[in-house]
Structure formats: C-alpha cells, structure tokens
Amino acid sequence: MKKFTLLLVCVLTTFSLFANGDADKYKKAPFAEDSKYEKAMKANLGKMKTAKTKADLQAVANQFERIASAEKSKWLPNYYAAYTYIRMTNFAKDNTAKDQLLDKAKTLLETATKLAPNNSEVVALEAYLALTRLSVDPMARGREYSGAVFAKAGKAKALNPKNPRPYFLEGILKMNMPPAFGGGKDQACPLFKTAAKNFEGFQPKTELMPNWGKETNAKMMKRAECQ
Amino acid sequence: MTKFQFILITVLILGLTAAKTLAQTQLSGLVTDEKGEALIGANVSLEGTYDGTSTDVNGRFQFTTQETKEVTLLVTYISFITHRQKIQPKGQSMTFLIKLKEEANELNTVVITAGAFEASDEKRVVVLNSVDIATTAGGAAGDLFGAFQSLPGTQTIGETEGLFVRGGAANETKTLIDGLTVQNPFYSSVPDVPQRGRFSPFLFKGTVFSTGGYSAQYGQALSSVLVLKSQDLADKTETNINLMTVGVGGGHTQRWENTSLSLNASYINLRPAFAVIPQNRNWQKPPENLESSLIFRQKTSKTGMFKVYSTYAQSELAMDYEDVSLGNTTNALGLDNDNAYINTTWREALGENWMIQLGASYSHDHDLILLNGDRIFQQERLQQGRVVLQRTIGKNSGISFGGEVQRYNFDEGINDLFRGLEENYVAAFVETELFFTRKLAGRVGVRWENSEMIQQQNLAPRVSLAYKTGKYSQVSTAYGLFYQTPQRDDLMQAQVNQTAQNLQFEQAAHYLVNYQWMLPGKRTFRVEAYYKEYNDLVKRFTNQTTPELNSQGYGFARGVELFWRDKSTLKNVDYWISYSFLDTQRDFQNFPTLATPGFAAKHTVSAVYKQYFSAINSFVGFTYTFNSGRPFFNPNNETFHGDRTPAFHNLSLTYTYLTSVFNHSTIVFASVNNLLGVQNVFGYRYSADGRQRQPVGQAVDRNVFVGMFITIGKK
C-alpha cells in the first residue's frame, strides 16, 4: 500500500504538471526535452522519407519549422526545413515559384549557419541550394552559380573530407556541364565514386544527423556509366 | 485491490482527465488569401512551441494546445506576409479566420516599364540578360549596341554608328555608365563606315535601354538613354587569351576576398581580314587599334563598393573616298585617335534607409585628321561629378535626389587656325517612386538644368504610371519633357556668330502608353504607342556666307511597336521578333521644310533566333533585319526628301562552339554578317549640278569574323 501511495503521488505530481499546463517547467527538464525533440524529429524524418507529393513535403517542412521555433538553439530543424524546401522545387510550376521556395530555403539556411558555423553539412546544403538555383535557368545562371557550387562544396570537403554529399553534388554539376567547361561523365564519375565510398563509410553521429543522397548517387553512377 | 482503492483510482482518473481536458485548448480555423481562396499547406503554429499543424486542402486547420498563458499564433505561407496574433488559450475552443496578404515580389508587383527595356542578371523579371546581349547576331559581333538594335524603337542605320531611336538622330541617345555620361561610346566616326562600341557587354550586370519617358535622373538626351550598370567584384581569378581574325587580346583578373583587379589589353589590326574579305572602301591603312583597360573593385564595407574603370585606346586608319557632292575628286583621309576614359564611383548605405552614390569621370578624346593634306584636329574633354541620395520608404517606394556638374571642352583646328569652346552644365533632380498599392505605382520627378553657354535654364517634369491588369500583364504610361543643349558644331558656329545666347535648349515631349504581358523566363509580349513633339531644334541657314542659326526647328514622331519573345515553346530555342512603325517629320538643321529625315524608315522588323545543340556543344543564332526605304535628298525632285532608298535586308549568322584547348575552357565564335550578300543602299549623294549621283552602300558586303576565347583558371 505504501508503495502504491508513493507511486500514486508521483503519478499525480506528473499529471498535475500537465493539468496546470505548466509546459515551461516540463520543457526545462533536460531529459524530457531531448526525448520530445528527438521524437518529433524522428517522426518527421520518417515522413520526409516517404513524402510523395508537394503537400506531404509542405507538411514536413512546416513541422520542421515548428520544431525550429520551439528549439531555438538547434540547427537541424532549420537544416531539414531548408532541405525540404529545396526538394519542393521539383513540384513548382514556374521559375518564379521555384525561386520563392529557394528564397525561403536560403533564409532557413542562414539561421542554420548562425547556429552551426563551419559545419560541413550546412555548407554542403548551401552547395545544394546553389546547384538548384542554377538548374532553374542554366543558360543565364550557369556562370554565377557553378562558381558558388564549387566554392561551397570545396569548403564542405575541407571541413569534413569524409562527408559524401559535397562530392555527390559536385558530381551532379559536372555531369550537367559541357565537357568543354570541365564537365561530362569522365569528370563526374570520380566524384560519384568518392561519394559512394564515403556513403559506405558514413556513420551519422546520431539518427537525426543528415544522411541523404546515397540512393541518388547510385542512380547517377549508373546513368554516367561509371566503370 | 480493495473497493476503496478502486473508487479512489476511478475518481482520480476521471478527475485527471477532466483537469487535462480543461487545460487543453482546441484551435481551429480557415486560412485564405485576400480574395478568400483557401491556402493549402499554410503553417499554423504557436510561436516557441511544438503545437501546430498545416492547413488541409480546404485551407482548414485544427490542433490542440496545453498552453494557458498568452502565446502568439503564427501563420506562415510562402510568398505571403506572416500573420501574428496574440491569443490567450483558456480551455475553450477557439476559431480563427485568417486572411494572409501576399508579399510584394517581382511577379505580383507592378513595374514602371513604359519606354524601357531592362536587361539584368540580378533581377528575374526582365526582357534580356547580358548573355542575350553578347550572343545576338548582327551588326558587329559581340557588340554591346548590336543587341539593342534588335529591339523595337531603333532604326537600322548601316552607314554610321549609334542608336537612332524613334525618329531621333544618334546624338539624341546618351550612354551612361553607373550614372555618368560617356562622351565617346563609339570609335571615331569615319564617312560611311559604322564603328563599333567601345565596351564589352560582359562589363555590365544590368542595362536599361529606354526609348522614351525615362527618369529625371537622366538628362541631355532627347530620345533615349542606355543606362549601363557595371559589375561588382569579379567572380574569380582567371586569365583570358583572345585570338581573333582581327587581332589578339588578353587579360588577367585577380580576385581577393574584398577586392578584384582586372588588367586587359588588345591589339586589333584589320589588314589581314581586309585582304581576304572584299571591301567596298578604298583603305590605304585598315583600322589598327591598341587598347588597354583597368577595372578595380573594392568592397569598402558590408554595403559599400568602390569602383574604378579606366581605358586607354589608340587607333589609326587611312582611306580614300569619293564624294560627288564635293566635286569628283578622290579625298585622302587619315585618322589618328587617342581616347582615355576613367570612371570612378562609390556607393554606401547610410543607415537603414539611405543610400549615397558618388561618381566622377573624365574623358579625353583626340582626333588628328589628315584630309587632302590639311591637318585637322579635334579634341573633346568632359569632366563630370555626380551625387545621388536615395531614401527607401516602405518596401518599394522611395525618393531620390541629386545633382551633377559637367565641364565640356571642345577644341578644333585646321592647320594653324584654332578655336575652342567651353560649356559648363549644372543639373539637379528629385524623383519619387510611389507604390500606392502593389497594382498601382507611379514615378514623379523633375529635373532642372542650366547651360552656361546658351545662358538658359530648363525645368523638365517626368511622370509615369503603371497598373497591373492581371497576374502577368500590366499597362503603363509616361509623359516627360526632355532637353538637350545644341550640338557642339552648332554651338561652335553660334559662338563664331556671337549668337550663342539666342539659342534655346532643344526640346522633346514624350507621350507613351504600353501594354506588357510576361511569363517570367518564358514569354514576353509588349506593345507600345507613342507621340513625340520636338521644339526649339536648331536650324541652320547655310545659303549665306556665314551660316545663321536659330532655335525655330520643330517636328514630331509617332509610332507603334510590337515585341514578342518566346524561349519556352521549343526546346533549347529562344527567339524574338520586333516590329516598329514610325511616322516622323521635322524641320531642322538645313531642311527647307518639314520632311522625314534620312535616318527614319517607316517599317522596321528584326527577328532573332538562337538554338543550343547540346550534342555538339554549340549555339547557332540568326538575326534578320528589314526596313522599308529611307528618304534621301534628290536635287532633281521638287519634293524635299521625296525619294526612298530600296528596302534594307540583312541576315546574319553566329556560331558559338564550347570546347577546351589544353584543358582550358574555350569558346570558338564565328559570325557572318549579311550572309546573303545583299547590296544594300543607304542613300545617294548628288553632284552640285544634280546630274551625277553616287550610292552610299555598305562598307563590306559580307563580313566574316572568327575568334577563339580561352579562359585559364579554376573551373
């Protein structure tokens, strides 16, 4: 009975916290915070992987933004929100709509950069942003944004040579550039190969850490007929 | 478990559930745009919490929160202004009807376009970008001005350089770099040989070519301004080598964090090309140029930029030409030109809303002409300073004001006789750009100018309005008065006659209306109609021994222009078509009556076609230009300018091949101007007795240019 009463008191205390709606106190408990954050992130990352439509991606991006708004010191929610907006350009109707999505991604990435300066993954995502900007209008933007992709990918590699994503992104750009300007399959393949090697060896520190691009890299290797 | 315990637990559970329900607030509602259309996927949340959701396909949302203190309801949606609302959850359900306002952006906000064609690499909603300009066939290959000649409102004048806009002479168009007038944008003029522009299109990140109704920031142009905005810091460190059929060139650009420096030099000699390609002029010494340029950029702060652009060029040529109107003798002409130009600007933000731009430039142009043994020299110098202050008001509106001073010196001499003139010019302007709503915008400005030489002042009002009629369409209209000091040769004559102070500013009033439909990056259609009234043009009476001058010339120009561009229907194809209808007459200079000037054709058509072939890494471009006959003076015809030349046709081709040489990016560029070799005639000259006439034809019937441009640098 004593045991039971003790348990009851514990339960009551916990519930009363809820009942009072004292979420602040609840959030301040570090263990509980992390678990809530992690839970929300994991659930949303799961949704991100299975997202098929524009609406799915929008919902995922919104959730990341909400997490970012509650977790002001975390860079990952901003990072993933930006990443999701970049992916949404596949569904955009016209160039202006694409640029609007990319403008939004840029703002989120700037916040991520402030929270995590000199982070290889954030810099790699900047390269992805530049690459997507370029793809909106390659003829007009090629010169300006190809420089930005190489610069950002280079920086991301310098910060963490084991990060597969900068190699993968650079490979995509090289693949789409005319051979006369240092592009083509021959130039892209070594990059895809390094990326593949790094993808194999890549162990994200936690489940929440960026871990995208492996499948597309494999597809690109096939398309480029890499030996 | 005893009964008591059971009851206790039941009560506790019930009680707790009730307590929990009490503290939980349900929030639901609808998110729409201003018109009431549902917004799908809008993010609805409570700031700083995990609570929130996205709106469904009907724009509806519903979620719960356990917050009980005051929180901010946040509704965000891409390209809409974020909605913030303080709420106090109390346990009862709350419903919201939220209307989001669209953010002003380039697509949904009206732009003042009447009269202007804007080319920009920065803005996304423009008609052309710098690559378009550089790759347009026709005229001289890669010439900055060539692309503008394919736009409506310009005339194709094959015997001389310059932009002839809407019935205006070439001197009615001014070229400006970062707000400062360029005194000599073209190489020195030679009879019946059109000259190239001095600037590479790649120096600029944006251009505005205005064919009427332009801003009060610009003066001394009756018809048109070409506003060039120079590049900021260079992209990267690289070295360029250019090998051409007409010469060689090269340069190096060094980029540091906040600084860049480019040094370039070129040597052009047309002798080898002229030896292969038959010329219609009798060249004794084909043009030979030596040029150098320096471009320095320094980022002085986060918002500050200091720029220096400087060039020095030397050119020489000699030709024999016949002019029956001067008697049937062969004239021997030699020309040596030196041209130096420096343009320095600095811009900086002053606090949040203010911006200052300072500029100074100096240009020096010196021609030494040997004509039939006579030594003629002409020297032009222009010094100018300019300051502009801008204040932004709200997101789009703003006010700018500023002033400029110019000192212009012209000296000329023949053998041992010399004369010169000096003009001091001061101008000030104020202009405000107002966005009443995102759909309706206006620009109202006024410019004041003072000329020391003619002792006159003027006040020029400029107004334009634009209204967005649909998602992709808008109408705009503009009115303005434009003044220009009489041309240097008129001023010189007036100074000799001591009648300079009797002259007025030449004046043009522009009225124009424009409709534009644009699917950004894909298709553009525009139509513009205008009426232009000229007054106080200089008239010359040359039948006296000393030509008398007055300012009683006048005239008009009216027309309609169409433009269509499509770069999305056919894959890898971009084309545009311009049509201009022009009806103009004026009584100016030595005209005996009101007549259509020789530089005005009634109908002008330009068609530009470009296609990219990815399999062979090549661009192919065609430009076809047509204009109906232009008037010329025939002394045997009672009607002044009663005759018309045959219609003009020109088909030009460019081929651009992207490749690599020793692993360095290389562009091979070839162009053929007047592919079909049409023998165009631009006018006729008559002998004094009117019995003989001499056609003014093309300097070359079919011109071929091949160049290889190698870039050495990090890829």
Judged by CB atoms closer than 8 Å, whether chains meet at A180 and B665 is answered as yes
In a domain? residue B451 = no
Nearest 5°: the CA angle B517, B522, B524 is 30
Which of B66, B660, B715 has its CB closest to that of A21? B66
The CB density around residue B327, as the number of other CB atoms within 10 Å, is 10
Identify whether the C-beta of residue A182 lies closer than 8 Å to the C-beta of residue B665.
yes
Q: What is the pTM of this model?
A: 0.79
In a domain? residue B521 = no
| Residue B634 buriedness (CB in 10 A; 0-12 / 13-18 / 19+) | middle
For residues B29 and B102, what is the distance between their CA atoms, to the nearest angstrom? Answer: 19
Which of A21, A36, A140 has its CB closest to that of B131? A140
* Smallest Cα distance from B21 to chain A, Å: 8
- For residue B9, the chain A residue with the least C-alpha distance is A8
Strand partners, B466: B441, B476
User: What H or E segment, with its residue span, contains residue A77?
Assistant: helix A76-88
In a domain? residue B632 = no
Q: Which residue has the tokens 């350009």?
A: A89
| DSSP characters over B277-327 | S-BSSEEEEEEEEEEEEEEEEEE-SSS-EEEEEEEEEEEEEEEEEE-GGG-
In a domain? residue B112 = no
Judged by CB atoms closer than 8 Å, whether chains meet at A96 and B5 is answered as no
Q: How many CB pairs under 8 A join A and B?
A: 117
Identify whether the C-beta of residue B644 lies closer than 8 Å to the C-beta of residue B630.
yes
Identify whether the C-beta of residue B212 lies closer than 8 Å to the C-beta of residue B512.
yes
A178 contact B CB<8A: yes
- For residue A17, the chain B residue with the least C-alpha distance is B20
Identify whether the C-beta of residue B220 lies closer than 8 Å to the C-beta of residue B404.
no
* Smallest Cα distance from B708 to chain A, Å: 13
Which of A15, A95, A101 has its CB closest to that of B16? A15
Contacts of B22 in chain A (CB under 8 A): 19
Contacts of B518 in chain A (CB under 8 A): none
For residues B519 and B539, what is the distance between their CA atoms, to the nearest angstrom? Answer: 47
Total domains in the fold of chain B: 3
In a domain? residue B36 = yes
For residues B82 and B100, what is the distance between their CA atoms, to the nearest angstrom? Answer: 7
Q: Which two tokens stand for residue B57?
A: 């396909």
Looking at the structure, tell me whether residues B38 and B82 fall in a common domain. yes
- For residue B657, the chain A residue with the least C-alpha distance is A180
Looking at the structure, tell me whether residues B319 and B358 fall in a common domain. no
For residues B603 and B583, what is the distance between their CA atoms, to the nearest angstrom? Answer: 9
Q: Which residue has the tokens 């023998």?
A: B679
DSSP state of B119: E
- For residue A23, the chain B residue with the least C-alpha distance is B67
* Smallest Cα distance from B612 to chain A, Å: 10
Q: From first to last of its 227 residues, what are the pLDDT tens digits of chain A?
A: 444 444 443 333 333 333 333 334 344 444 445 678 999 999 999 999 999 999 999 999 999 999 999 999 999 999 999 999 999 999 988 888 898 899 999 999 999 999 999 999 999 999 999 999 999 888 778 777 888 899 899 999 999 999 999 999 999 999 888 776 777 888 899 999 999 999 998 888 888 999 899 989 999 999 888 87
CATH of domain A118-227: 1.25.40
CA quadruple A85, A87, A90, A94: dihedral sign: positive
Judged by CB atoms closer than 8 Å, whether chains meet at A104 and B658 is answered as no
Contacts of A40 in chain B (CB under 8 A): 50
Domain that residue B407 falls in = 354-381+388-420
User: Taking the domains of chain A in order of start, what are their residue ranges?
Assistant: 39-117, 118-227
Identify whether the C-beta of residue B710 lies closer than 8 Å to the C-beta of residue B244.
no
Q: Which two tokens stand for residue B323?
A: 């002019």
Selected residue of A15, A62, A191 to mutate for chain B interface (largest B Cβ count, 10 A) = A62
pLDDT 10s digits, A98-107: 988 999 999 9
* Smallest Cα distance from B397 to chain A, Å: 22
Contacts of A47 in chain B (CB under 8 A): none
The candidate with the shortest Cα–Cα distance to B213, out of B115, B142, B326, is B115
In a domain? residue B160 = no
Task: Please list the helix, strand and coil fractions of chain A in percent, rounded to the nearest 5, in that order.
Answer: 80, 0, 20
Contacts of B23 in chain A (CB under 8 A): 18-21
Question: Phi/psi of residue A181, each to 5°?
Answer: -105, 30
Between helix A185-201 and helix A214-223 the angle, nearest 10°, is 150
- For residue A143, the chain B residue with the least C-alpha distance is B235
Identify whether the C-beta of residue B362 lies closer than 8 Å to the C-beta of residue B382.
yes
- For residue B572, the chain A residue with the least C-alpha distance is A139
User: What H or E segment, with its residue span, contains residue A55?
Assistant: helix A54-70
For residues A106 and B708, what is the distance between their CA atoms, to the nearest angstrom? Answer: 38
Identify whether the C-beta of residue B440 lies closer than 8 Å to the C-beta of residue B464.
no
What is the reported pLDDT for B310? 96
- For residue B20, the chain A residue with the least C-alpha distance is A19
The CB density around residue B544, as the number of other CB atoms within 10 Å, is 8
Q: Cα B561 to the chain's mean position, in Å?
A: 17
Buried b (16+ CB within 10 A) or exposed e, B104-133: bbebebbbbbbbbbbbbbeebbbbbbbbbb
Give the mean pLDDT per block of 10 residues along chain B (715 residues): 59 51 82 92 92 93 91 92 91 91 76 71 60 63 76 88 92 94 89 85 82 92 92 87 92 92 94 93 94 95 94 95 82 94 96 93 96 93 96 87 96 93 97 88 95 96 93 92 95 91 95 90 90 96 82 96 91 91 96 95 94 85 93 94 95 87 84 92 90 91 90 72
User: What H or E segment, with its residue span, contains residue B208?
Assistant: strand B204-210
Q: Which residue has the tokens 């106080």?
A: B536
Average pLDDT along chain B: 89
Q: How far is CA A145 from CA A125, A140, B97, B607, in A?
A: 14, 10, 42, 30
A10 contact B CB<8A: no
The contacts of residue A164 (CB under 8 Å, 6+ apart) are A194, A195, A196, A197, A198, A199, A202, A213, A214, A217
DSSP state of B197: B
The contacts of residue B445 (CB under 8 Å, 6+ apart) are B215, B216, B217, B429, B430, B431, B432, B461, B462, B463
In a domain? residue B266 = yes
User: What H or E segment, with its residue span, contains residue A214?
Assistant: helix A214-223
Q: Which two tokens stand for residue A4?
A: 């039971």
For residues B536 and B711, what is the distance between their CA atoms, to the nearest angstrom? Answer: 52
* Smallest Cα distance from B334 to chain A, Å: 43
Q: Which residue has the tokens 């053929």?
A: B672
- For residue A148, the chain B residue with the least C-alpha distance is B235
What is the reported pLDDT for B182? 94
What is the reported pLDDT for B520? 76
Task: Please list the helix, strand and coil fractions of chain B in percent, rounded to the nearest 5, in that order.
Answer: 10, 60, 35
Judged by CB atoms closer than 8 Å, whether chains meet at A21 and B612 is answered as no
In a domain? residue B271 = yes
Identify whether the C-beta of residue B481 lies closer than 8 Å to the C-beta of residue B509.
yes
Q: Which two tokens stand for residue A202?
A: 């890549």
For residues B136 and B142, what is the distance between their CA atoms, to the nearest angstrom? Answer: 7
pLDDT 10s digits, B518-546: 887 788 999 999 999 999 999 998 777 77
Contacts of B666 in chain A (CB under 8 A): 180
Contacts of A144 in chain B (CB under 8 A): 121, 235
What is the reported pLDDT for A13? 36
Judged by CB atoms closer than 8 Å, whether chains meet at B617 and A96 is answered as no
